[in-house]
A and B are shown apart, each in its own frame.
Chain A
């Protein structure tokens, strides 16, 4: 089944403790992206990647890092999480960005930073 897999689905952590949210797609998509979803703010893009070793900042990149060493994986790293990073995170992929292909989304990761 073609899908984007995120792990974990739920995560509670403490301020300052480094964490990684994994994202993997099995569709050989070139483009991958991370979004955070907050009530009243919709989806805001954190980082995106056009292809392996090519990443760029989205609208809200502060406090996050990403890497794209393999085409299928695009982990999101929070080196020192803070409470304002409590949010619902989605990974998405597409054959190409925007255009006419649309995105495939993962099921989301609900992160709580205390």
Chain B
């Protein structure tokens, strides 16, 4: 069985500061890893994903995440946040060896960016 732990339920930061949202996973098999973002009153949107290859993946709006197999982590980072990045962020994992594995989500981290 898979599980995802997001270590912080809430992360307050000031605008233009760097941020890291932490995610650790547990799985007995190889995995795909995802970050989803949920803006207020909206559904979840895929932010970025790690499938294979380079362990550093990037999104179009400046976020990046690094897959660390030895530490079973997939932390999300941004060097300089904007007010508009205020949202809840969910880390998720699925089993890469199964074509019919469902997505398991963490409990979410609320990123609060203030001026």
- Interface residues in chain A, defined as those with a beta carbon under 8 Å from any beta carbon in chain B: 4, 33, 35, 40-43, 45, 48, 50, 58, 90, 92, 96-100, 102-103, 105-108
CB-CB < 8 A to A100: which residues of B? 32, 49, 51, 96
CB-CB < 8 A to B32: which residues of A? 98-100
Interface of B (DSSP majority class): loop
In the complex, besides A98-B101, A107-B43, 7 extra interface pairs with C-beta distance below 8 angstroms are: A42-B6, A42-B105, A45-B102, A105-B36, A108-B41, A108-B42, A108-B43
A/B pair count, beta carbons within 8 Å? 64
Which of B34, B36, B105 has its CB near the most chain A CB atoms (within 10 A)?
A: B105
The distance in angstroms between the C-alpha atoms of A84 and B39, with both chains bound, is: 25
The distance in angstroms between the C-alpha atoms of A51 and B81, with both chains bound, is: 40
B68 within 8 A of A: no
Which of B9, B45, B96, B102 is in CB contact (< 8 Å) with A105?
Answer: B45
- Interface residues in chain B, defined as those with a beta carbon under 8 Å from any beta carbon in chain A: 6, 9, 32, 34, 36, 41-46, 49, 51, 90, 94-96, 98-103, 105-108
Q: What are 27 contact pairs spanning A and B, CB under 8 A?
A: A4-B43, A35-B105, A40-B107, A42-B6, A42-B106, A42-B108, A43-B108, A90-B43, A96-B100, A97-B94, A97-B103, A98-B32, A98-B94, A98-B95, A98-B100, A98-B101, A99-B96, A99-B99, A100-B49, A100-B51, A102-B34, A103-B103, A105-B43, A105-B44, A107-B43, A108-B42, A108-B43
